[in-house]
Homo-oligomer: A and B are copies of this chain.
């Protein structure tokens, strides 16, 4: 811990709030909870927590994520810092928002009830406490930007996925339909996926092939001067 060099005396609580995105029932959802403490107890809120003395912002966010999802190695990225004076009526708190992408397939549903938490479709978001709605808007904008330029969309799946489901996810993120052939053409052109020999028959008689993201192929693709783009 660094020594106190500065005479400045204004110190602040620093919180971390997480926008946890998941893909479920063809829709993009985020994990919300009923706020367990006053003020605004019982209202809908993002998952959050305070940063401790001996941890970094990123570590604090990872802690929050693990606490509510029990998943490790979650993809996570900072959205920004929110520092309005009156943003939290409970105290002067500076909050740093992070968004995260989780694999809903392996999500432990008993956790949700334990924390009074719920997956809510991004179209049916209730009013959230403080400035959390703004955080969600900012996170969604950043998510769209990142998805279009980096191969993070695959983080929503546990390893394998089908092209129809990938496209459904893409459409849920951008809230716009895409032509199936154009979408698949773009994916195929990059050559960064491997097709497995097995099919997912849960949503059609014919079945859709599973694919996996091949990081090595991706690295080679990038190394040869190409740019990922979705």
Contacts and interface: CB of A to CB of B under 8 A. Distances in A.
A81 B80 contact: yes
Given A5-B39, A91-B3, A83 B58 contact: yes
Contacts of A47: none
A14 B88 CA distance: 17
A13 interface: yes
B37 A2 contact: no
A82 to B, nearest CB: 8
Contact of A8 (B13, B39, B56): B13
B1 A92 contact: yes
Contacts of A50: 6, 8, 10
A60 B94 CA distance: 13
B90 A5 contact: yes
B6 A13 contact: yes
Q: Is the interface of A mostly helix, strand, loop or mixed?
A: loop
A86 B83 CA distance: 22
Interface in A38-52: 38-39, 50-52
Interface in A69-97: 78, 80-86, 88-94, 96
Number of copies: 2
Contact of A85 (B3, B54, B93): B54
A57 interface: yes
A102 B52 CA distance: 37
21 contacts: A2-B89, A2-B91, A2-B92, A5-B37, A5-B90, A6-B13, A6-B50, A6-B90, A10-B13, A10-B53, A11-B11, A12-B12, A54-B85, A56-B84, A56-B85, A58-B83, A60-B83, A78-B81, A80-B81, A81-B81, A145-B145
Q: 6 closest A-B pairs (Cβ-Cβ)?
A: A57-B83, A5-B90, A11-B11, A81-B81, A8-B50, A81-B96
Interface of A: 1-6, 8, 10-14, 37-39, 50-58, 60, 78, 80-86, 88-94, 96, 145
